[in-house]
Amino acid sequence: MARFRVMARTVDMLGQQQIAGIPTAISELFKNAHDAYARRVEVDYLREKDLFILRDDGLGMTREDFEQRWLTLGTDSKVAGGNLSLPPIDPEQTERPILGEKGIGRLAIAVLGPQVLVVTRAKRECLPSKVTVVAYLHWRLFALPGIDLDEVVIPLREIPGGTLPTEVDVRAMVQETIAFLDSIAHCSDLQICNKIREEMQGFTIDPSGLAQQLDTPSLLDDGCGTHFYITPVDRLMQQDIDHRDDDKKATRFEKLLIGFTNTMMPEHKPPVILTSFRDYIDEGAPIERIGNKAFFTPEEYGNADHHIIGRFDEYGHFSGKVGVYHLSPDPYQLSWQDSDGSPTACGPFEFAFAYLQGEAKESLLPASDHALLASKLDKIGGLYIYRNGIRVLPYGASDYDWLDIEIRRSKKASYYYYSYRRIFGAIELSTTKNSRLTEKAGREGFRENEAYRQLRSILIHFFEQSAADFFREEGRYADPWMETRSELNRRDQIRKKKESQASGKTKSLKRDLDIFFNKVADKEPELAMESHFREVKKKALTVLKSEQSVTYKAAQLLTVEREARETIRKMQRDLTVTKPRGIGLTRTLNNEWDAYQGQKLRLTQELFQPAETELEHFLSEIAGNNALILDNIVRLDTVVRERSNVVKSSTRRLKSETDKLLDRVADRVRDQSKTSWTERLRRSCGVTLAFPSPPVVIAG
């Protein structure tokens, strides 16, 4: 009688061929932690030690579980009616649907690295086990030719619960594996055996020592769960984390591991399991690669321009609400065009997404916030699928447009409206209601059976019809979108005009400051003042030498003084720079303005004020020396009149600017009143500007 033989190479082939890549392998291990009722599963990637540590705080495994479930390929332990009992559940938590039904999670480890130390402690009936199970595997042993699967030796130890194995314990297990390798080396590839032996000799992991630098989850004291220590790490790990084709695209790691649970929606249910991936690049603080902040936040979701939320029933009909530009969401219903009245194979599902306008000028977000969210959408935007709250790969990846949204948009953007990279939302499935949506063996999406094709058809129809209804100029419910978009465009034009004006004013200010500093650097004010005094003295001497009467000479000297003061005032005005109102200054320009004010004050105190005092003393002195009497009352009156004229001119200028500002405020008040009145009319009358109050059913 003939029988099947299972060669050890089967494990190697399954591990390499069933797992799409490193991010998928990590996702599979996260799902295994979910099935073990872990509340947390965390990865610490220590690059300098070339070590990958994955720890969860789940129910862990007994020795029997490890041998009969974890080390058994194709086990039926997760299938009702099998020879083994179903995996244990945690009575302290809500029962979880099983995600890892394919039995490939353990093989995912081989994709991450060739050697693994498994440390697990069981928790049963809410009590931690008295022992911790430790096992060591080198996956390359399974690649050796001519060896049956059951021949491979896997060292296993039980140590006291609440403790961790030491480096000595681990070395003893490694030596046991090396001894097995030596016993079969004669019938295997010697070169491969030497490579495996070299890697095993370098396996110097010390879990008890590492526990001192790692936080929880821990297996010390009453801690339970399963921990994996994997080394050396596949070199593709760093490439998947670090490499991106350009700054606008996500890395492969981000595409497939961010958003493991749906935490983007406001008021979302707390995820049953939290995931974390800390990347220790150097001795500094680690980088959190997949935490909730790396994914879309509820705040970002709420800030998007449009929101759609609802449910597709078992016939593919949508019932929900559409909120455009943060207006109150209105009911919306849509029938699936291909429905024949029979329940769909895909089943009912929940559906919600937010949408960001592509151009900042048409968005409610400030330009800076729009740019940040748009950049994030370029990297990780898309429509994610979650089954029982856990992400289904690869849906949601920014380069996996599984609904062909971008293909349709490329035909005519104004007609189809939606862009896949401006969407972020989720489809919520469950194992019970959507059982016919089954994943491929390698976790690369759903099988393209009838259920999946119906799911795509329902969603494609929804995006096409909702675009026609709400975001197309001739759409029956497009008025709110068109009016708000037009208003945003109008405001954008005003803003650009103001920016253009402000830019011109800024350039003018910069030019005036440069002229001022050049004059100061060349000492033009001082030289001009010296020239002015020479001219004043010349005029005064001319008056004194004239043959006119004493009274006439005195009057002429007063005229010389008045004209000299006017020239000094003009010199001050020519050096004055006026800062335009309503513009912001760059840091450099603001520093220049401060420097200008300092120089202006210096010139006033050290040049212009002393010049006026010197002028007065000079004319008083020569008048006295020549028996001329200058009327001090007339001199004082002249100074007061000059000051008064300056104040009046400044007051007139300020009044003119105030009148213009009041006119602008009045215009804005009128515009806001008009907008408010239109909105009240829309809400109260239900005219064509509003969505219809009752739900609208659109056939086909």
Q: How far is CA 359 from CA 93, 366, 408, 416, 644, in A?
A: 46, 11, 19, 16, 54
For residue 178, the model assigns a pLDDT of 92
3-state DSSP: the chain helix, strand, coil percent, rounded to 5?
A: 50, 15, 35
Q: Which residue, among 681, 307, 325, has the nearest Cα to 482 in the 3D structure?
A: 325
pLDDT band at 102 (very low <50, low <70, confident <90, very high): low
What pLDDT, in 10s, does the model give residues 190-230?
888 888 999 999 999 999 999 988 988 999 999 999 999 99
Distance, first Cα to last Cα, the chain: 61
Q: Which alpha helices (DSSP H) does 335-449 contain, by range? A: 367-380, 405-411, 413-416
What pLDDT, in 10s, does the model give residues 603-661?
999 998 998 888 888 888 888 777 777 655 455 455 556 555 555 565 666 666 666 66
For residue 221, the model assigns a pLDDT of 94
For residue 684, the model assigns a pLDDT of 46
pLDDT band at 169 (very low <50, low <70, confident <90, very high): very high
What pLDDT, in 10s, does the model give residues 174-191?
999 999 888 886 666 788
**Residue 561 in this model has a pLDDT that exceeds 90:** no
Coil/strand/helix, residue 162: strand
The β-bridge partners of 132 are: 159
What pLDDT, in 10s, does the model give residues 82-101?
556 778 999 999 999 888 65
Q: Which structure tokens are listed for 447?
A: 């099988």
Supply angle C-alpha 57, 60, 66, rounded to 5.
Answer: 150
**Residue 680 in this model has a pLDDT that exceeds 60:** no
Q: Which residues contact 209 (CB under 8 A, 6 or more apart)?
A: 166, 167
pLDDT band at 74 (very low <50, low <70, confident <90, very high): low
pLDDT band at 6 (very low <50, low <70, confident <90, very high): very low
How many Å apart are CA 344 and CA 453, to the nearest integer?
10
How many Å apart are CA 106 and CA 36, to the nearest integer?
13
Q: Which residue, among 517, 509, 489, 653, has the nearest Cα to 584 in the 3D structure?
A: 509
Give the residue-averaged pLDDT of 107-117.
89
Characterize 494-523 residue by residue with b for buried, 16 or more Cβ atoms within 10 angstroms of its Cβ, and e for exposed: eeeeeeeeeeeebeebbeebeebeebbeee
Coil/strand/helix, residue 175: helix
